[in-house]
Chain A
Amino acid sequence: DAGVIQSPRHEVTEMGQEVTLRCKPISGHDYLFWYRQTMMRGLELLIYFNNNVPIDDSGMPEDRFSAKMPNASFSTLKIQPSEPRDSAVYFCASSFRQPTNEKLFFGSGTQLSVL
């Protein structure tokens, strides 16, 4: 398996623009997580899905952020409009069953820079 695939690897955009980050989880995994990593705040859980259904979005910073999972093999994280403080590395991760006992597999991340 190719692992968790994220795109793009790098994204540079201007303030106010819409940004869409994409993730393809490992086939057969039923949990998908979106994390944001910054120097100041470390690794923050934004939202996670189970069987394509959002379970907990309490970590989503504000209404400018939205995430969807239309099917088991694809998820998007959208920021509209983007702001410079959204600059971070965004990771997608997936697992088979809950990560309480199972390994969480991470993608390589999307480095987002909002100018």
Chain B
Amino acid sequence: GDSVTQMEGPVTLSEEAFLTINCTYTATGYPSLFWYVQYPGEGLQLLLKATKADDKGSNKGFEATYRKETTSFHLEKGSVQVSDSAVYFCALSADNQGGKLIFGQGTELSVKP
């Protein structure tokens, strides 16, 4: 079945460092891809999305490009802040899955001042 694989955490960075969190997917159809973020004690929030190949989703300085040839949707940010500390989830949703959103395991990011 469809699945999402993320790099394991935790990832610890210093403020202003460059961030990459890897995400690859397996899907039989043509899924939409998402990054959700979970801040401590809260539910998940949509960070960005891409609905077709070569689309780039971006929000709050984060971006990810839908790469069909490598089945990847890596999350990047040029300069992280302490406030970016959270757990990041990659997810996919395919029409042939009836609307389900399938999440990766999550990657914890900790940014130190």
A interface, CB within 8 angstroms of B: 4, 31, 33, 35, 42-43, 45, 48, 50, 55-56, 91, 93, 98-101, 103-104, 106-109
Contacts and interface: CB of A to CB of B under 8 A. Distances in A.
B43 A55 contact: no
Given A93-B43, A100-B94, A43 B89 contact: yes
A100 B51 CA distance: 8
Q: Assign chain B's interface to a size class.
A: 20 to 34
Nearest to B51: A101
B73 to A, nearest CB: 15
Interface in B32-54: 32, 36, 41-46, 49, 51
Given A42-B106, A43-B106, A100-B94, A106 B45 contact: yes
B71 to A, nearest CB: 17
Contacts of A93: 43-44
Contacts of B42: 108-109
A101 B32 contact: yes
Given A101-B49, A107-B43, 6 more contacts: A45-B100, A99-B101, A100-B31, A101-B32, A101-B51, A109-B43
Given A42-B104, A42-B106, A56-B98, A98 B93 contact: yes
